[in-house]
Structure 1
């Protein structure tokens, strides 16, 4: 992704996940805003920058390895990572048997005591594969701890899981009993 699109992608994520009000946007219950409203807000904040158009957003979505956003008709939303106060409506889904979470060595003891908590987000983010968990974990630790989540057992015990995209799953929390250290 070129630097212009990368910068736009970061700003779109910020606007749709964390600060829609700063852009004059209001997320609907599922986290959508009109594409035209987002484009207007982005372009108003950066009048000297080449205007962002729908095709830019479509290209960002198409080439992103993390699939953070989606456009449906004339609306766009962030798929996961929200820290806004109002809860985003999600439909529960049966998770794969195992999911993964990359974390720092520093956080490990706390997680093994109290489970995975969403911290400043609405949901705990889980990875569908070890590679994604490693990538996420490296943001906080050069050699992250990879936790395996017994998602099948957790789901059987009544925990709800939500699909963020094909590689990211979400849950309100994951109690420690469903966690094991895959490697550290």
Structure 2
């Protein structure tokens, strides 16, 4: 019995994004954790987990459809999606001119009035294209509303953006004046 890349990705995401204390991990201010500690605690689960090693992590990262984690020497981190207490520090970056956000239809009125807020996450998650936003919004509704963000104007007005990966951008918040619904 072996652990699939999907199972490994879910466990690593849970450990690095949501409850590192359950895995006896301490994240630094940028969300990094020691690879050796993560592997040791995963192996303690027994069964197929006993064979999880650095090669397993590297394979999981190379075959993933979305880049969710980053491996750097003897450390690993989740790139986005954190709900841990305390804020994971990100470096500001100039965003693409337009970004998108998929959401449930009942959320649009709240967004139109108050803008995009991180809700239970540390940052607002934005997609680089409409197609990705449709997929993300599809997790919230069978008929998601796709919100377009004028990221260039927002950045010009002082909104800070951070690159999550090649498909995901992050922001502290996006005021309502920079969002509209894609037709």
Band the TM-score falls in, shorter-chain normalisation: over 0.9
CA distance, structure 2, for counterparts of residue 146 and residue 136 of structure 1: 10
CA distance, structure 2, for counterparts of residue 72 and residue 29 of structure 1: 15
Shift of 1:125: 0.2
TM-score (norm 2): 0.95
- For 2:34, the equivalent position in structure 1 comes to 34
Structure 2 residues without counterparts, runs of 5 or longer = none
Shift of 1:48: 2.0
Secondary structure of the residue that 1:126 maps to in structure 2? strand
Shift of 1:98: 0.3
Secondary structure of the residue that 1:49 maps to in structure 2? helix
CA distance, structure 2, for counterparts of residue 65 and residue 133 of structure 1: 15
Backbone CA RMSD of aligned residues: 1.3
Q: Deviations over 1:55-100 (max 9, x none)?
A: 1111111111220001011110000000111211111000000000
- For 1:131, the equivalent position in structure 2 comes to 131
TM-score (norm 1): 0.95
Structure 1 residues without counterparts, runs of 5 or longer = none
Secondary structure of the residue that 1:174 maps to in structure 2? coil
1:108-127 equivalences in 2 (<5 Å): 108-127=108-127
CA distance, structure 2, for counterparts of residue 3 and residue 41 of structure 1: 14
